[in-house]
Chains A and B, each alone.
Chain A
Amino acid sequence: GQNIDQPTEMTATEGAIVQINCTYQTSGFNGLFWYQQHAGEAPTFLSYNVLDGLEEKGRFSSFLSRSKGYSYLLLKELQMKDSASYLCAVLTNAGKSTFGDGTTLTVKP
């Protein structure tokens, strides 16, 4: 089966940088997603890592180490609107995605 761990909650200050970690154990790994989900809304796609390394996209970057079963999402220049839940999800070769329970990020002024 799959097991995905990420912190339940994090708090950071507006303008700062925050790193949200995700560790996973899975068979048939095919990639790792990060999604953002505001309360009461559907998840929206942020990033997808297949190979090891850092993928940068504006204020958001995502890192993957397949050998360590580890990923992180880095958010720079935090804004109040970044307060949301951040979901780590692993995609398997069978096409199934398994999500973590999400990290609720609160950005304070």
Chain B
Amino acid sequence: DTGVSQNPRHKITKRGQNVTFRCDPISEHNRLYWYRQTLGQGPEFLTYFQNEAQLEKSRLLSDRFSAERPKGSFSTLEIQRTEQGDSAMYLCASGPDRTDTQYFGPGTRLTVL
């Protein structure tokens, strides 16, 4: 399978714990995006990488959320001191340079108790 993969697919954690999610993009894609989606809403942009450079990020990533893509391949999204409001589906997408099309991974569903 050469699609976008995300791990874990499900994560249950207690409030106050830190969690880290991983995204492996399609191998030839230089662009990588993170989104958060809650029920009944569209995906909410979190951040975007071009290779290892983080080019754009929402205000959410200035606090408890951080993302990295150290070698320009896989990426991690960390949430520190989780809150119940962080419960959501976290989606990763990748895209090639030559188009702006994004291909989504299956997502990581986070439940904060």
Residue in B44, B103, B106 whose CB lies within 8 Å of A45: B103
Interchain CA distance A101-B35 in the complex, whole Å: 13
Interchain CA distance A41-B91 in the complex, whole Å: 10
- A90-109 near B? 1/0 per residue, CB < 8 Å: 01001111111110000000
Pick from B43, B48, B56, B103 the residue with the most CB of A within 10 Å: B43
Judge whether A30 and B42 touch: CB under 8 Å.
no
Q: Label chain A's interface by main secondary structure.
A: strand
Judge whether A89 and B56 touch: CB under 8 Å.
no
Judge whether B41 and A31 touch: CB under 8 Å.
no
Interchain CA distance A75-B43 in the complex, whole Å: 22
Judge whether A96 and B48 touch: CB under 8 Å.
yes
Interchain CA distance A30-B55 in the complex, whole Å: 16
Which size class do B's interface residues fall under?
A: 20 to 34
The verdict on A95 contacting B91 (CB below 8 Å), with A44-B104, A87-B43 known, is no
Judge whether A101 and B40 touch: CB under 8 Å.
yes
Q: Write the nearest CB–CB distance from B29 to chain A, whole angstroms.
A: 13
B7 within 8 A of A: no
Number of A residues whose C-beta is below 8 Å from B?
A: 23
The verdict on A42 contacting B100 (CB below 8 Å), with A95-B31, A96-B56, A97-B33 known, is no
Interchain CA distance A96-B47 in the complex, whole Å: 8
B25 within 8 A of A: no
**Which residues on the B side are within 8 Å of A30 (C-beta)?**
100
Interchain CA distance A83-B45 in the complex, whole Å: 25
A15 within 8 A of B: no
Q: Write the nearest CB–CB distance from A81 to chain B, whole angstroms.
A: 19
**Which residues on the A side are within 8 Å of B105 (C-beta)?**
42
Binding site for A on B (CB under 8 A): 31, 33, 35, 40-45, 48, 50, 55-56, 91, 99-107
15 more CB-based (< 8 A) A-B contacts, given A30-B100, A102-B40: A33-B100, A35-B104, A41-B106, A45-B101, A45-B102, A48-B99, A89-B42, A95-B31, A95-B48, A95-B56, A95-B100, A96-B45, A97-B45, A100-B42, A102-B42
